[in-house]
Amino acid sequence: MAGEVSGRRTQPARTGRRARVRRWWGRALGSEGHERSTVLLIAKGTLAATIAWVISYHLLHAQSPAFAPFSAVLIMQVTVYQSLLQSSRYVGAVVAGVAVQAALGFLVGPDVPAFALVALVALTIGRWPALGSQGSQVATAAFFAFSTYVSATSALDKITQLGQIILLVLIGCGIGVLVNVTVLPPLRYRSAEYGIRTLAHALCDLVSDIYPALRERGLDEERTGRWRARAEQTGELVTQARTGLRMARESLHYNPRRLFRRGRAHTYFEGYAAVLEALERTLRQFAALTRSLDKWSADEDRYHYGAFLASYADFLESLSRITRVFADLDEDRLGDQTSQLHQLADEAQNYRQRLAEQAERDGLPLTDPGRPYGVLVIEAARLMEEFQYTCDVLQHHVER
């Protein structure tokens, strides 16, 4: 009986895992994204490692053939530029490590004090900033070289084996770069797009939470405090979006696939960079708006201005429609999306104008610095300016 119960429990778990695996492969095969990039990187790494092994083991008959496939996989980076950069640093680190071992080995010998001296010098050189993340490979290469050195039987054999390490690393790096350049070189346009979508989605969620509460006059300190915290915690999303844009730009360097896009690449990234900066400023404006709403939640007079609250809700709802378009930004549909954005921006501008008129009709104390009404109206105007500018910037770069 216990076995039957256990079997019934594990069956849904297995079914769920299989469903997740099918969805993962469906995304990998059906569209560009993280899943497809992962599959391509694994496939290309396997190809590069296999070619390097065949050359080093079957053709060169090297005593340490694993250096070549290891090097090929190590520099198989996300972008061609990073592959070239990291391979040059890696080769420099290996050459430095082998050179340290060769110099100290022949001068001091193969004893323990010599190994300690090799480790000291290699670890010191590994701190050199020019080597970047490959600095640790100086010591790794030096240790492998020391092992090769002590196992060699003659001075000529020692020199030959140490030289072979460098040759195998050069072969591995060369094959890794060649495979990365010639076999579907990564072109990460969508990473820039994804960063903007993520920012816009966070903004859309925030606005979509605020305007229904305003319409229902549901302003309490707990709710406005949560809005304020969410608006002020978007720094990490901005950083991720900037990283995605940097990676997308970087993927163009030395990438033959950029030739098929001709002049679109520069315009594409210019436009997205401008949109990203505009969205970042918009998020700051929303942080200021949520601070004003948080202050207003403690002001009992707000209940006397239901019409103003409703107008503000209409305005924010119109902005949420703009953010939904940005959250679904797609390079293949930018022309239609920019037209839609301008239409939505015109509607939002009309709602902002009605909001200002409503504030005047209600006789709000806009000039009282101790109360938030004037700030709310000003923040609405600033938000409208930022959204209008964002739409204009995108359209400008699409039409170029």
Average per-residue pLDDT in the chain? 82
Amino acid at 93: A
Residue 190's pLDDT band, with cuts at 50, 70 and 90, is low
Is residue 70 domain-resident?
yes
Is residue 22 domain-resident?
no
- 165 Ramachandran zone, left/alpha/beta (phi>0; psi -120 to 50): alpha
**Gap between the Cα atoms of 270 and 30, Å rounded:** 28
For the ranges 4-8, 191-195, 224-228, 339-343, the maximum mean pLDDT occurs at 339-343
In this predicted structure, what is the pLDDT of residue 258?
62
In this predicted structure, what is the pLDDT of residue 30?
62
Amino acid at 310: A
- 242 Ramachandran zone, left/alpha/beta (phi>0; psi -120 to 50): alpha
Least trusted range by pLDDT, from 21-35, 43-57, 152-166, 221-235: 21-35
Is residue 26 domain-resident?
no
User: 135 and 258 share a domain?
Assistant: no
**Gap between the Cα atoms of 237 and 195, Å rounded:** 8
Q: Does residue 108 surpass a pLDDT of 60?
A: yes
Is residue 173 domain-resident?
yes
In this predicted structure, what is the pLDDT of residue 58?
93
Kindly report, residue by residue over 215-246, the tens digit of the pLDDT. 887 677 788 888 888 887 777 777 877 877 77
Residues 84-113, mean pLDDT to the nearest whole number: 90
In this predicted structure, what is the pLDDT of residue 27?
64
Is residue 20 domain-resident?
no
- CATH number at 268 reads 1.20.58
**Domain count within the chain:** 2
Residue 8's pLDDT band, with cuts at 50, 70 and 90, is low
End residue of a domain, out of 161, 182, 203: 182
In this predicted structure, what is the pLDDT of residue 26?
73
Is residue 19 domain-resident?
no
User: 269 and 373 share a domain?
Assistant: yes
Is residue 25 domain-resident?
no
User: 203 and 159 share a domain?
Assistant: no
User: 203 and 258 share a domain?
Assistant: yes
End residue of a domain, out of 141, 159, 182: 182
In this predicted structure, what is the pLDDT of residue 10?
59
Q: Does residue 175 surpass a pLDDT of 70?
A: yes
User: 321 and 178 share a domain?
Assistant: no
For the full predicted model, state whether its pTM sits above 0.75: no
Span between the terminal Cα atoms of the chain, in Å: 71
**Gap between the Cα atoms of 128 and 348, Å rounded:** 55
User: 275 and 177 share a domain?
Assistant: no
End residue of a domain, out of 160, 182, 204: 182
CA atoms within 13 A on the CB side of 184: 14
Is residue 18 domain-resident?
no
User: 174 and 193 share a domain?
Assistant: no
User: 223 and 137 share a domain?
Assistant: no
**Gap between the Cα atoms of 72 and 291, Å rounded:** 53
Residues 363-379, mean pLDDT to the nearest whole number: 75
User: 162 and 219 share a domain?
Assistant: no
In this predicted structure, what is the pLDDT of residue 164?
92
User: 196 and 104 share a domain?
Assistant: no
The single residue listed with the structure tokens 């920019």 is 338
At residue 363, what are phi and psi to the nearest 5 degrees?
65, 40
User: 109 and 173 share a domain?
Assistant: yes
User: 112 and 245 share a domain?
Assistant: no
- 132 Ramachandran zone, left/alpha/beta (phi>0; psi -120 to 50): left
Pairwise pLDDT comparison (188 vs 104), residue with the higher score: 104
Q: Which domain holds residue 340?
A: 189-399
